[in-house]
Amino acid sequence: MILSIESSCDDSAIAITEIKTKKLLFHKKISQELEHSVYGGVVPELAARLHAEALPKILAECEPYFKDLKAVAVTSSPGLAVTLVEGVTMAKAISISLGIPIIGVNHLVGHIYSLFIEKETKFPCTILLVSGGHTQVMQVNSLEDIQTVAKSMDDSFGESFDKVAKMMGLGYPGGPLIQELAKDGDRKKHNFTIPLSQSPLIAFSYSGLKNAVRLAVEKAKDNSEYKDIAASFEHIATAHLTQKLKKYFKTNPPKRFAIVGGASANLYLRSQIEELLKPHNAELLLSELKYCSDNAAMIGRVAIEMYEKNMFKSLDDIDISPKSSL
């Protein structure tokens, strides 16, 4: 079995996965959303302190599995430096005390493998990652063959939901709150411009849309107008993704496509991508809703692949790398 730890942002999570069967035997996550909500975003120092409290509590529940562990895996990049360190330090301590190797997992690869929890992998696949820190399209052939073909030039898709929610005083994380508010809103009420629609670039940008939404929020008479702003924002934020993907598909038609990352839970986005894929007859892979946001099960699933390839780190060279991406 492999014990995996996730602490790259504001979720403390540990999983136990059986190597041979890929079965998830244990998974527990303690989320810090409530604590950060009052600040409208994640406060790194507070997050680190909460990980230091939560991770040992979860680890204590894993004690019955200790004797069967063959490796300990941990998210080592990318993420907040002060929170990554919490997980990596715990992994080092487990490695020393149980005499087992460490596997350092890239969190974004983790999001990709959230598609395959308790399942076999299905590659090649074109993958859209939409999370709090990233918006990118990747061509994935295997664990070690991941090509990024488009990414955001500024804010990410998920981050723009967080910022719009903050402008409206709704709390954090903004994605689910905006989705809920948008449900009863008019998607056509505000005619926000689709970012980069005149540009031939296959890239993403959310800062301009965010500023246009800010003006609409400031102009609103009261918060009864927020639902139409939220609906129009969600519509344009999604149209930007589908417009650029459509352009990309002209030269790279997809046979299999997936959406991963925290914001892949967005139901409007899922429905629009389904429509986009219809003419291509492409298969759409999605993670279970509970594994879209950060979790340790996805880290454990990547770790199985890395274990089989002997991709271990020594105590000296397992280090955090907050900025590394794919």
Q: Interface residues for ligand ATP in 243-262 (CB under 6 A)? A: 261-262
Q: Is 131 in the site for Fe ion (CB under 5 A)?
A: yes
Q: Is 162 in the site for Fe ion (CB under 5 A)?
A: no
Contact 127, 257 (CB under 8 A): yes
Cβ neighbours, 10 Å, residue 215? 11
Closest approach of ligand ATP to the CB of residue 164, in Å? 10
Between 127 and 216, CB nearer to Fe ion: 127
* Residue whose C-alpha is closest to residue 39's, from 220, 139, 173: 173
Amino acid at 198: Q
Q: Is 133 annotated as a binding residue?
A: yes
| Site size toward ligand ATP, by CB under 6 A | 26
Rg (CA), the chain: 20
Q: Is 266 annotated as a binding residue?
A: yes
Q: Work out which of 113, 161, 257, 291 binds ligand ATP, going by CB under 6 A.
A: 161
Q: Work out which of 179, 238, 272, 287 binds ligand ATP, going by CB under 6 A.
A: 179
Q: In what order do the strands lie in the sheet with 2-6?
A: 24-31, 11-17, 2-6, 71-77, 102-106
Q: What is the DSSP letter of 63?
A: G
Q: Is 40 in the site for ligand ATP (CB under 6 A)?
A: no
Q: Specify the stretch interacting with ligand ATP by CB under 6 A; choose among 86-94, 140-148, 175-183, 199-207.
A: 175-183
Q: Which of the choices Fe ion, ligand ATP, none does residue 174 contact, using the CB cut-off of 5 to 8 A by kind?
A: ligand ATP
Structural element, H or E, at residue 28: strand 24-31
Q: Is 310 annotated as a binding residue?
A: no
* Preceding amide of 173 cis, omega within 30: yes
Closest approach of ligand ATP to the CB of residue 80, in Å? 9
Q: Is 305 in the site for ligand ATP (CB under 6 A)?
A: no
Strands 102-106 and 11-17 turn out to be: unpaired
Closest approach of ligand ATP to the CB of residue 281, in Å? 27
Contact 35, 171 (CB under 8 A): no
The CA-atom distances, in angstroms, between 228 and each of 72, 165, 187, 208, 280 are 47, 13, 6, 19, 32
| Contacting residues toward ligand ATP, per CB under 6 A | 8-9, 78-79, 107, 111, 131-134, 158-159, 161-162, 173-176, 179, 261-263, 265-266, 293-294
